[in-house]
Amino acid sequence: SLASVVIGDGVTEIGQYAFCRCTSLTSIEIPDSVTTIGDWAFSGFNRYWGDDSHLKTIYIGKSVERIGEGAFNECTNLTELYVHRDMPPTLESSNDLSAATIYVPYMEYYVYRGTNGWKEYADRIVAYDFINREVVDMDRASLSYPREENRVFLRPPQQGG
């Protein structure tokens, strides 16, 4: 009975149904090397057999671009989902995150809340500082833009044309 999984750094994809019905699994850490979480990868409930997922915590690394259809379908005990990616990964249909608190990088908090797939969980999304491992109160936060792509560089006008 598998309780937790830490996926190795060389893995780039979690395949379809990879951990489907691993009902004893309580936590999983997905490294930065993974770019895709396949369809129904962690789907934990099967109405026909009466299995219920015990999955409570998922940490998704910085590189996941797509969370497949139903990847977290019927994960009824999922309470914490940490998504470390700056830009929201595509969240396909049939994922139910309605019981989870979704922790996202505080600099992208508003982006997640406005992105298709994620915006239906806007009231569940929490700004999180992954470096200091703490929740950020966005009503009191003073935001700066440390990433170079968000900086504005002013160049002096060129002389003599």
| pLDDT band, very low/low/confident/very high, at 155 (cuts 50, 70, 90) | very low
E strands along 73-137, which residues?
80-83, 90-91, 101-105, 125-129, 134-135
How do the residues of the chain divide into helix, strand and coil, expressed in percent and rounded to 5?
A: 10, 25, 65
User: Which residues, in sequence order, are bridge partners of residue 5?
Assistant: 28
Q: What pLDDT does residue 113 have?
A: 96
CB 67 within 8 A of CB 91: yes
- 3-state class (DSSP) for residue 108: helix
**What is the reported pLDDT for 154?**
40
* Length of the chain in terms of residues written: 161
- Mean pLDDT value across residues 117-132: 96
What digits encode the pLDDT tens for the residues 14-65? 999 998 878 788 889 999 999 999 999 988 755 555 556 688 999 999 999 9
Q: Where are the alpha helices (DSSP H) in 73-150?
A: 109-114
| pTM as predicted | 0.83
Which residue in 66, 83, 78 sits closest to 42, CA to CA? Answer: 78
